[in-house]
């Protein structure tokens, strides 16, 4: 999987959210490097756990803002978040199982899961999060 190269196209023009999105991209890249280096499975699971936990807390940040400002597209946006959270909790379970079964860790599967997160993140970011960012800007938040 190619590295996520941060660029203007990912900016939603709200400082706090841009900072968090950048951190998610860094965490994705870190896991990607570990997979490429065929790092120990425990290290990879650790990287995924960090990524999953931070992604969840980032969603909470966005959803709290949506609630506070009564964002009109809140329901649909939250549904998108929920889909990724459900997917990620399955991934975490699977990795924990594999990490326990020594020698049974599948790097290709790890690579596929990471690519799913990475694609989802990019698409959600340039569509849903950008719309939300534009809404926040109209409320004087940048
Ligand atoms: Fe986001
Ligand atoms: Fe979002």
Tell me which residues have their CB within 5 A of the ion that is ligand 1: 129
Q: What's 24's domain CATH number?
A: 1.20.120.50
Distance 20 CA to ligand 1 centre (A): 8
So what's the pLDDT on residue 59?
98
Residue 111 lies in a domain: yes
State the residue range of the domain holding 109: 11-138
Flag whether 94 is in a domain.
yes
101 C-alpha vs ligand 2 centroid, how far in Å? 35
Statement: residue 99 has pLDDT above 70: no
For the cut 70, the answer to whether the pLDDT of residue 23 exceeds it is yes
How many angstroms is it from 11 CA to the middle of ligand 1?
A: 10
Has residue 136 got a pLDDT over 90?
Answer: yes
> Does pLDDT of 95 surpass 70?
yes
Q: Identify the pLDDT of residue 92.
A: 79
Query: Which residue in 73, 50, 48, 51 sits closest to 62, CA to CA?
Result: 73
89 has a pLDDT exceeding 90: no
Q: Would you say the C-alpha torsion 98, 39, 49, 130 has a positive or negative sign?
A: negative
Q: Does residue 90 belong to any structural domain of this protein?
A: yes
Residues near ligand 2 ion, CB 5 Å cutoff: 62, 129
Q: Please check whether residue 4 lies inside any domain of the structure.
A: no
C-alpha of residue 119 to centroid of ligand 1, in Å: 13
Asked if the structure places residue 5 within a domain, the reply is no
Number of domains in the chain: 1
Mean pLDDT of 14-27: 97
Highest mean pLDDT among 8-12, 74-78, 83-87: 74-78
pLDDT digits (tens, 9 = 90+) for 45-69: 899 899 999 999 999 999 999 999 9
Q: How far does residue 49's CA lie from ligand 2's centre (Å)?
A: 19
One-character DSSP codes across 116-138: HHHHHHHHHIIIIIHHHHHHHHH
Q: From the CA of 11, which ligand is nearest? A: 1
Check if the beta carbon of residue 114 is closer than 8 Å to that of residue 28: yes
In a domain, 1, yes or no: no
């Amino acid at each position: 999987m190619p590295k996520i190269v941060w660029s203007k196209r990912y900016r939603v023009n709200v400082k706090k959210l841009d900072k968090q999105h950048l951190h998610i991209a860094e965490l994705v890249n870190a896991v990607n490097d570990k997979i490429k280096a065929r790092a120990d499975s425990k290290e990879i699971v650790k990287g995924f756990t960090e990524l999953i936990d931070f992604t969840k807390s980032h969603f909470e940040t966005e959803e709290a803002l949506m609630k506070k400002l009564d964002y009109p597209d809140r329901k649909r946006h939250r549904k998108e978040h929920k889909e990724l959270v459900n997917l990620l909790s399955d991934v975490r379970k699977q990795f924990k199982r594999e990490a326990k079964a020594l020698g049974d860790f599948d790097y290709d599967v790890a690579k596929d899961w990471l690519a799913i997160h990475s694609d989802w993140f990019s698409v959600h970011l340039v569509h849903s999060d950008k719309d939300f960012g534009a809404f926040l800007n109209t409320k004087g938040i940048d």
